[in-house]
């Protein structure tokens, strides 16, 4: 019981430190959405001192906790953190409710948690190949959300068909996350797996055809669409490989 308590306490402290770091910078992918700071110089300086002292205190406690945590327990904690990390992303990007404004807080929260994951991975190294693959997938998911937020911020305010095409492909890639587990492997037990994969593949093909029929599309927009299309194709091929007689 003591080990479990210490592990949970360690996780909380690590997340606190990661979040504290984010507050001092503009999180990746958040344009013009920096977390508000104090209004006066004196209060800013005092707050910075308080944050520094708080981080020092937390780090001292962490060093004590690390000595009482075995490597096996640490790796187990890391796996739980990575699994919850991916679940948080999936729960936050459902359908069309994900946008750059409404979910700007998500990037900062994920950044703090990803720092915790890398800290634990370094602390309890070396990791098994399977655990490393899971960590790499968590990193991929973070960058996908970051990039998606940027593109939606850039194109959602524009009403042109090319811009809408990019947004559609971005949202498709976010939807496809739900068909993979925390290791990036297809979730065959996903409800209506075969039907939904085929439906998304057909929808992707229709959007692709419609986009390439457009004329005078800016080069940058074409590039963004191509990148998102390539990502969707890769995901759909992986999912389709589990459906007998179906390919992308």
Secondary structure string (H, E, C) spanning 98-113: CCCCCCHHHHHHHHHH
Strand, helix or coil at 131?
helix
Rounded percentage of the chain residues whose pLDDT exceeds 70: 68
Rounded percentage of the chain residues whose pLDDT exceeds 90: 40
Residue 90, token pair as written in the block: 């999936």
pLDDT in tens, 23-72: 333 333 333 333 333 334 444 445 555 556 666 666 666 665 555 567 77
End-to-end CA distance of the chain: 50
Predicted confidence (pLDDT) at residue 234 exceeds the cutoff of 70: yes
Neighbours of 198 (CB within 10 A): 17
For the segment 88-102, the average pLDDT, to the nearest whole number, is 69
Strand, helix or coil at 231?
helix
- Cα 223 to chain centroid distance, Å, stands at 22
For residue 150, what are the CA distances in angstroms to 29, 33, 111, 143, 162?
6, 12, 15, 11, 16
The backbone torsions φ and ψ at residue 201, rounded to the nearest 5 degrees and listed phi first, read -65, -40
pLDDT, averaged across the chain: 77
What residue spans of 93-218 are helical by DSSP H?
Answer: 104-123, 129-155, 161-176, 193-212
Least confident residue range of 61-70, 103-112, 206-215: 61-70
The pLDDT score that the predictor gives to residue 40 is: 44
Contact 134, 180 (CB under 8 A): no
- Which class for 165: exposed (0-12), middle (13-18), buried (19 or more C-beta within 10 A)? buried
Return the higher-pLDDT residue of 42 and 152: 152
Least confident residue range of 50-59, 142-151, 213-222: 50-59
Contact 104, 139 (CB under 8 A): no
Predicted confidence (pLDDT) at residue 96 exceeds the cutoff of 60: no
The angle at the Cα of 149, spanning 192 to 194, to the nearest 5 degrees, equals 10
Spatial neighbors of 103 by CB under 8 A, at least 6 apart, are: 92, 93, 149
Q: Which helix (H) or strand (E) holds 179?
A: none
């Amino acid at each position: 019981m003591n080990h479990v308590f210490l592990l949970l306490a360690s996780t909380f402290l690590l997340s606190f430190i990661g979040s504290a770091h984010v507050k001092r910078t503009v999180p990746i992918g958040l344009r013009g959405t920096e977390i508000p700071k104090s209004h006066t110089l004196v209060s800013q300086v005092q707050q910075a001192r308080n944050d520094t002292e708080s981080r020092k205190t937390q780090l001292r406690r962490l060093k004590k906790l690390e000595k009482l945590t075995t490597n096996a327990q640490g790796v187990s904690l890391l796996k739980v953190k990575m699994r919850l990390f991916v679940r948080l992303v999936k729960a936050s990007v459902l359908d069309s409710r994900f946008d750059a404004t409404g979910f700007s807080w998500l990037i900062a929260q994920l950044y703090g948690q990803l720092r915790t994951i890398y800290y634990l991975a370094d602390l309890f190294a070396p990791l098994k190949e399977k655990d490393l693959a899971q960590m790499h997938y968590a990193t991929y998911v973070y960058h996908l959300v970051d990039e998606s937020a940027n593109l939606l911020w850039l194109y959602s305010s524009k009403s042109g068909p090319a811009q809408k095409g990019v947004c559609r492909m971005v949202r498709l890639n976010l939807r496809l996350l739900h068909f993979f587990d925390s290791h990036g492997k297809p979730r065959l037990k996903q409800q209506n797996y075969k039907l939904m994969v085929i439906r998304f593949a057909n929808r992707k093909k229709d959007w692709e055809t419609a986009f390439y029929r457009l004329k005078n599309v800016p080069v940058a927009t074409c590039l963004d669409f191509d990148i998102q299309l390539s990502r969707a194709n890769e995901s759909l091929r992986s999912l389709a490989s589990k459906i007998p007689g179906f390919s992308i």
